[in-house]
Each structure stands twice: as structure tokens, then as C-alpha cells.
Structure 1
Amino acid sequence: METPYPESISPGKTRIGWIGIGVMGAAMASRLLSAGYFITIYARSPSKALPLQSEGAQLVDSPYKVAKCSDVVFTMVGHPSDVRSVVLDTNHGILAGLNPGGVIVDSTTSSPAQAREIFQAAKAKGCHSIDSPVSGGDIGARDGKLAIFAGGDQVVVNWLSPLYEVLGKVTYMGQAGCGQSCKIANQIVVGANLLGLSEGLVFADKAGLDARKFLDAVRTGAAGSMVMELFGGRMIDRDFKAGGFAEYMVKDMGMGVDVVEESEDERVPVLPGAALGKQLFAGMVANGDGNLGTQALITVIERLNGK
């Protein structure tokens, strides 16, 4: 198998491709553009590419064309099915166009099993695939402070480090699929924190407490968390603009919970909290709120309390 491109990564030399320019993807791509990297992008809705084009990105009309003119191609799309489509499509996908030695970096929260499949498909073509989903929301993406969980060959992850340093802090988790497994576990923790924060704020309101004073009182104690810092104020302000969509939490937590429900393996953990969290986020989707931010989980708790 080819090694990654022999030159070390640097602005002006390494060609970057980017597919998926939603809230997170656009912010991440913008940081790489600001760092001096030339980026080629693909967007299903070309109008969404205009801000990145104004920063110097080149727009093409297929993932295949992105790959043809890139050394490293990032994907940040919505669902595992989207990853499969943009990476493995035999006519228009990334692997069809990627040159030997090229690297796919999937930042989507996706399936560990599919990450392993793509890793093997890339290897068969003399290319590389790294699954490295991220955590930190829209603020972390904008400020370059994302937590990045990487699975695949460690030598390739190390080679990619100049790019990761622009985006946040990367942790190598192990073989292909381990990055995705880490992200699913991360989402289980985030979901539990969002639920606890939502219930705490509803309880504080029912008790007649000032919501901001409540947060200020508890944030430096054991109840404090990054979830509280990122979303507590937004919940109080009724700011439900999405950094991460609520409907994606159903998918993310489901990839942990559904495996548990379908498996007969006694080694698979029972996750009652995650199962409840998935149901509550699914309730948001049923209420027509799937495109709101994850912090809007508080609206489900409020509905249960008659508000």
C-alpha cells in the first residue's frame, strides 16, 4: 500500500478537499482556508458554498472531482448513508477519484463498522482512511477547539497533525472504527448532561429561582460541565439555533443503544440512560423540532411539565 504523500503537510503544498459544509463543516473548512490551505469543496446546494468561495475555496460538482484534485479529503455529512454515498459510489465517489497515497478523513459521526469497511476499501486502492469525528459544537469548530477522536493507522494520524492542530486537539483512539466508537460514547455522555441540565433548569424555574443565578451558583461545583458552559445560557435565552441538530442525537445515541438492543452478546453493556435520552430526542423530532439545536431538549421536559 502507498504511504501518504511523502511531503509533510503545509499550506501552499497540501491540497485539501472538503465535502459537507453545514454549520460544523463550514466552520472547520474556513479555519483551514484562514491557515493558508487551498481547498476544493462540493455542496449538494451550491448556494451554501458562497461564503467559503468568498474566502478562496474552489467549488466543483462531484465528490469524485474533489478527490481528483486533493491529497486529503475531509467529509462532514449527516448520516452513515451519506458517508457511504460520497465515499464509495463507484462512479462519483471519493475513492473512485482519489490518487494512490491519498487520505480520506471522515469527521461525520458515523458507524464504526462502516469506518472499518471504508478503511479496507481505501487500503485496497493504495489509499488511507481515518475516522475522526469531533466534539465541541459550533463554537469549538469556529474557535479551533474541537476534541477530535481518530481511528486508523497511527502513522497517518500523525502525518495529518498539522491539519488537526488548526481544528483542535486530536487523540488517537486505535484501529479503524475506534474514532467512531469514541464519538458514540461521547454522545451518550453529552445526552445525559443535556438531560440533567434541562431538568435542573426546569426544577429551578418551578422552585422560583433565578435561572442565571442558579447556573452561576452551580457551575464551579460538581454539576458544572462543558455542556453547561456551551448550552446553559442558550437554554435560558431560548436560543435553539443548531450547532448540532437534535435529530442527529437520535442517530448518534441510537448507534450505541440499537447495537445493545440487537445483540445477544453478554459483553455488550446495558445503557438505560442512553435509551431514555434517545427516546427524548426522538420526542423532539416527533414534535417537529428535529432541526433545532440539541440544547432544545429542555422543551421536551417543559412539555412534560405542562409548559
Structure 2
Amino acid sequence: MSWSGGGGGPSVGVIGLGGMGTALSQELLLAGYAVMVHDRRPERVEELAAAGTEVADSAAHLAANCGLVITFLPGPTEVEHVLVEAPDSVLSGAREGTIVLDMSTCGPDTAIRVGEAFDIAGCVFVDCPVSRKAPEMTVLIGGEPGVLGAAEAVLAAVSRTLVHCGSRGAGYATKLLNQHVKYAWYLASSEALLIAREWGLDAAAVAQAIERSSGGDSGLDTAAEFFRGDVAQMATHAPARTIHKDMQLVKQLAAGSSVRSPTVDVVADFFERVAETHYLERPYPESTELLARLRRERPSAETRTGAAESRTRSTPS
């Protein structure tokens, strides 16, 4: 199936014209695709209509005319309503074989419920949340390679990176974990700069210095070394003893200000636990093994079974 505007193929439909949906629609037009858009706020569609998109008066109307439907919606409630539950939903207008890609941020259970509804209708639903706007998007695909079919070429034309994250729901889950890493780093950084200001330092200058130092790295690459089993790279890092010493000094620095920093406490306390083990003399990324035990990374079989049963009960028949 082709979605090229000049070949008479079905349009690419975009529902939800905030910043992300508008940018994607514009890039699709530039790439030569026929585009149909829908948003409940008429003012959102005017600029795109002037640029050459068709306008649908409902999600069902759009789905009936588009072989590929892409949605950007505020959250799980809106996704389930617009895609499945509403009288004029995407599902109500979709034809057999329609591909529906949701680029919203939701939890994996939403993908399971919505996906099963589209499965029954003979359509394809894939959770595809994104990071950044088109054409710089990274698309986090909840499915194995090939799940997008002909739609993959469309996404490749308007994105920087396509990442297949696993089975249905894995795209949503990966996006949520991305958000956690991003905003945990933001929170730790903000607390550090508050402490700097309390000590009479120029917070902007401290931020610039940290950005150009090891603190400018979120730590994700180092954490990933453990999960890749990259023993050689882990061995290049300082022993946990050094980090333990440093974090005790950081804790003292924070205590000397009026700023309460839970992120400092959590990190310092973790390396206190590390200091009680053989990991103290090992490269600090190896202490992830201890972290996994402390955080109960792997739930028991009973817990996993219970969670699966809960999802099954919550899925419409």
C-alpha cells in the first residue's frame, strides 16, 4: 500500500494538532504525502488547510479516508475515547487493514486494550510514542521489526530514528522510562543549583561548569554498560569507594545549606549500602547488581501472574 500524494493512494491522517501533530503534518506535506487532518479546535487546522491538507470533520471521517492514521492526544483517557469509545471514533470509521499509530504518551495497558479492539476489526494498532518533533523525532515502536508494514517508510521519511522496543505496549513503556530519566536528571540538577546558590555561588556559572564536566552526562550510558554486559567498559570507571567518599562530601555540602535535597540523600544512602559489600572495591557500575536486589527489580512469579490476570480482566472482550 502506498501513501504518496501523487499516486492516488489513501491519505495519511493526523489527529491532534498540537505542536507535535502540526510539525508532523507539515513534514508529511513536504515529503509529498497526501495528508488529512482533524482537531476539535478549528483554528488548529486553518494553517495546515492553507498549506494543502484536507480537513476531516470527525475522527471517523478521517479514518474512513486514510489507510494510515497517526494520533497525538493528551493521555490515556483521550486515546481510548478518540480511538475506540466515541460514536465517531477512529475504530468506527476504519476499514479492514487500516494502520493506526498512536504517538501519545500512555501506559502499556492502554496499548493492550486499544490494540485488541483494532485486532478484532482487522486493523493494525501500534503504540509509537515519540521524543522531539518531526523531522527530528525518535519513534519508540511497540512491536517487532516489520510490524508497521508499509507505514515504516512514511515514518522514516519524517523521523530521525525508529526504535523497535519489543511487543505491544513496549513503546509506551519506553517513553515513560525516558520521561523518568529526563526529569530525574532535571530534579537532581535543580537541587544542585539551589545548593550552589545557597553557598553564594553563581548558579549559572556552576551549571556551565557541570555541563562541561562529567556531571553533564545523564549517566544513562554508564548504566547501560551493566545491562549490555560490557565488562571491559565498566572496568574503566572509578571504584565505588571513590563515589562513596564523594557522596558523603556532597551530603555534607547540602547539609550546610538550607536546601533539602532528597536526590542527594538517595544517592548517598545507596553508596552507604554499597560500602557494606564487596562492591566497594569494584568499578561502581557493577553495584547495579546490588541495586537490583535492593529495589526488587524482578517481581516474584506470583506477582507477575497477578499483574497479567489484572490486565486480562481489564481488557474488553
TM-score under structure 1 normalisation? 0.66
Q: Distance between the aligned counterparts of 2:50 and 2:159, measured in 1?
A: 20
Query: 2:194 touches 2:203 (CA, 8 Å); kept in 1?
Result: no
The equivalent position to 2:71 in structure 1, one of 70, 75, 94, is 75
Give the secondary-structure state (helix, strand or coil) at the position aligned to 2:147. Answer: helix
Residue 157 of structure 1: aligned partner: 148
Residue 84 of structure 1: aligned partner: 80
The equivalent position to 1:58 in structure 2, one of 26, 42, 54, is 54
String of CA shifts for 1:18-42, please: whole Å, max 9, x gaps: 1111122222222212212121111
Using a 3 Å threshold, how does the CA distance of structure 1 residues 45 and 8 change in structure 2: closer, same or farther?
closer
Residue 198 of structure 2: aligned partner: 206
Using a 3 Å threshold, how does the CA distance of structure 1 residues 212 and 15 change in structure 2: closer, same or farther?
same
Q: CA deviation at 1:148?
A: 1.5
Q: Distance between the aligned counterparts of 1:114 and 1:70, measured in 2?
A: 23
Residue 230 of structure 1: aligned partner: none
Larger gyration radius, structure 1 or structure 2: 2
2:92 matched to 1:101?
no
The equivalent position to 1:193 in structure 2, one of 180, 185, 190, is 185
Q: Which residues in structure 2 correspond to 1:211-226 (within 5 Å)?
A: 211-225=203-217
Structure 1 unmatched runs, 5+? 1-6, 227-259, 269-307
Q: Distance between the aligned counterparts of 2:216 and 2:65, measured in 1?
A: 46
Give the secondary-structure state (helix, strand or coil) at the position aligned to 1:186. Answer: helix
Q: Which residues in structure 2 correspond to 1:1-307 (within 5 Å)?
A: 7-12=1-6, 13-89=9-85, 91-135=87-131, 140-142=132-134, 144-152=135-143, 154-157=145-148, 159-165=150-156, 166-225=158-217
Aligned residue identity for 1:207:
W
String of CA shifts for 1:85-141, please: whole Å, max 9, x gaps: 111036301011111111000000012112112222111111100101112xxxx30
Query: 2:16 touches 2:38 (CA, 8 Å); kept in 1?
Result: yes
Using a 3 Å threshold, how does the CA distance of structure 1 residues 28 and 214 change in structure 2: closer, same or farther?
farther
Q: CA deviation at 1:225?
A: 4.7
Q: Distance between the aligned counterparts of 1:152 and 1:125, measured in 2?
A: 19
String of CA shifts for 1:260-294, please: whole Å, max 9, x gaps: 9xx996569xxxxxxxxxxxxxxxxxxxxxxxxxx
String of CA shifts for 1:169-216, please: whole Å, max 9, x gaps: 111111111111111111111120111222233233333444443333
Using a 3 Å threshold, how does the CA distance of structure 1 residues 33 and 94 change in structure 2: closer, same or farther?
same
Give the secondary-structure state (helix, strand or coil) at the position aligned to 1:175. Answer: coil
Give the secondary-structure state (helix, strand or coil) at the position aligned to 1:149. Answer: strand
Aligned residue identity for 2:100:
I
TM-score under structure 2 normalisation? 0.64
Query: 2:3 touches 2:33 (CA, 8 Å); kept in 1?
Result: no
Q: Distance between the aligned counterparts of 2:105 and 2:66, measured in 1?
A: 22
Q: Distance between the aligned counterparts of 1:198 and 1:53, measured in 2?
A: 42
Query: 1:15 touches 1:69 (CA, 8 Å); kept in 2?
Result: yes
Higher relative contact order (CA 8 A, sep 6+): 1
Using a 3 Å threshold, how does the CA distance of structure 1 residues 204 and 40 change in structure 2: closer, same or farther?
same
Q: Distance between the aligned counterparts of 2:65 and 2:138, measured in 1?
A: 28
Q: CA deviation at 1:220?
A: 3.3
Q: Distance between the aligned counterparts of 2:10 and 2:191, measured in 1?
A: 47
Q: Distance between the aligned counterparts of 1:266 and 1:189, measured in 2?
A: 25
Q: Distance between the aligned counterparts of 1:64 and 1:214, measured in 2?
A: 53
Aligned residue identity for 1:117:
R
Structure 2 unmatched runs, 5+? 219-295, 306-317
Q: CA deviation at 1:11?
A: 4.7
Q: Distance between the aligned counterparts of 2:4 and 2:140, measured in 1?
A: 22
Q: Distance between the aligned counterparts of 1:65 and 1:128, measured in 2?
A: 18
Residue 243 of structure 1: aligned partner: none
Q: CA deviation at 1:9?
A: 4.8
